Amino acid sequence: MPSGLVLVTGASGFVGKWTVIALLRAGYSVRGSVRSDEKAEDVRRAVVAQLGDDVLYRLTFVKLNLLLDHGWTQAMLRVDAVMHIAASVAGAEPRDRSKYIATAVEGTERVLRYASFAGVRRIVMTSSVAAVAYGHGQKSGVRIYSEADYTNLAGMRRPSTYHVSKTNAERTAWAMARSEDLSLTTILPSAILGPVLDADFSASVNMVADMLVGAGPAVPSTGFSVVDVRDVAGLHVAALQQPASIGQRYLAASDYVRFPELAAILRSAYPDRPLGGNTMPDWLIALLARLGGPLRVIVEDIGNEKHFTRDKAEGLLGRSLISGHDAVLASASTLLALPQIPVRR
């Protein structure tokens, strides 16, 4: 469907910008949803930096809010497909848990409802491995998860707001796809790394940024599966191009990288940076997680490794996923190219 019009929600986010770029490169026209004119300009700058200004005639914007009905009817006019990417991603527990979950769940329902009203049947949605690999009773060791797995929130010791929102949002999407006869595909990324386009990047990239500026003297012993943002964007576009992806979930996860390994990769490439490397004991992580800080999100991973199948994703892309090592270095090199590395708390 090249030259078709695709509505991209969350166009100014890390995944959103790269997906807009991938769509424009593939020949599509894009209507990006943003929260402000400033965010729209950020997307334009990123697009021009990657593709030049010749494609800007195929890029327009609309201001939308996932929690408000205003503007969605007009946003769906003449749209051929929707890529629902907009989502909040917190590195720590948000202050307003209910609003965070509502943005994910009610926002998903709103996007799909207005798409259905407008007769837009094709939806590609960003979910997360947070909706796959939790609450299954895994206590230690390695376990490999596939697209057939769904997170069991009732089985989690302390489900974070992020796990709740992602799991419930995806279940909402599949329920609506069945009831509204929508052609849905979901893409489920792990920790998203890769090249940054500006200072607006993922919570996962923020871990790399913290290490590069020496913000954390110690790291957990556990780790996480990573994926390059370019692969995440590529999977969204490939799903749109291949009808066989309808009704399917696709895990987007490359290699498992432990925090000490992440530090070692960065230390090898940038020996002059103030990189820490001490390992934080698991008992301290569990204790600090109870306070609701950034460690709350990873407390369920203590003592075990969550790996993910990649055959479906690589089949959809027609190539191998970018390695975790290369995704880490892509994040680092582009962060260091910024005027200043943002440090977020």
Q: In this structure, which amino acid lies at residue 288?
A: L
Predicted confidence (pLDDT) per residue in 98-154, tens digit: 777 888 899 999 999 999 999 999 999 999 999 999 888 877 789 999 999 999 999
Q: Is the pLDDT of residue 292 over 60?
A: no
pLDDT band at 278 (very low <50, low <70, confident <90, very high): low
Maximum Cα interatomic distance, the chain, rounded to a whole number of Å: 57
pLDDT above 80 for 250: yes
Backbone angles phi and psi of 70, in degrees to 5: -55, 125
Say if CB 64 and CB 128 are below 8 A apart: no
pLDDT tens-digit series, residues 8-27: 999 999 999 999 999 999 99
| pLDDT value at residue 140 | 76
Are the beta carbons of 32 and 40 closer than 8 angstroms?
yes
Rounded mean pLDDT of 55-68?
Answer: 96
Q: 299 falls in which pLDDT band (50, 70, 90)?
A: low
* pTM, entire model: 0.92
User: Is the pLDDT assigned to residue 305 strictly greater than 90?
Assistant: no
Amino acid, single-letter form, for residue 224 = F
Spatial separation of the C-alpha atoms in residues 186 and 189, rounded to whole Å: 10
Would you tell me how many other CB atoms lie within 10 Å of the CB of residue 2? 10
Quote the mean pLDDT of the chain: 89
Ordered by start, the domain boundaries in the chain are: 5-192+228-254+306-321
Using DSSP bridges, classify how beta strands 223-228 and 256-258 pair: parallel, antiparallel or unpaired.
antiparallel
Contact 190, 202 (CB under 8 A): no
Q: CA-to-CA distance for 10 and 17, rounded, in angstroms?
A: 8
Burial class (CB in 10 A: 0-12, 13-18, 19+), 298: middle
Length of the chain counted residue by residue: 345
CA 177 to chain CA centroid, Å, is 21
pLDDT band (50, 70, 90) for residue 254: very high
CA–CA separation, 15 and 152 (whole Å): 26
Tokens at residue 244, please?
Answer: 């066989």
Percentage of residues in the chain having pLDDT higher than 90 = 69
The residue-averaged pLDDT of 219-239 equals: 92
Residue 341 has what pLDDT? 87
Nearest CA to 84 among 154, 177, 8?
A: 8
Check: CATH 3.40.228.10 for 5-192+228-254+306-321? no
263 in Cβ contact with 208 (< 8 Å): no
Q: What is the dihedral of CA 90, 92, 94, 97, to 10 degrees?
A: 90
What pLDDT sits at residue 7?
98
Per-residue model confidence (pLDDT) at position 95: 67
Q: Could you give phi then psi for residue 246, rounded to 5 degrees?
A: -65, 135
Tally Cβ neighbours within 10 Å of residue 259: 21
In this prediction, residue 280 carries a pLDDT of 66
The pLDDT of residue 162: 87
Tokens of 120: 């837009």
Q: How far apart are CA 196 and CA 205, in angstroms?
A: 8
* pLDDT, tens digit, 9 for 90 and up, residues 150-172: 999 998 877 888 889 999 999 99
**DSSP SS3 for 344:** coil
pLDDT at residue 287 greater than cutoff 60: no
**DSSP category for residue 77:** T
Question: What is the sign of the dihedral through the CA atoms of 96, 101, 106 and 108?
Answer: positive
Instruction: Assign 187 a pLDDT band (cuts: 50, 70, 90).
Output: very high
pLDDT band at 239 (very low <50, low <70, confident <90, very high): very high
β-pair partners for 308: 145
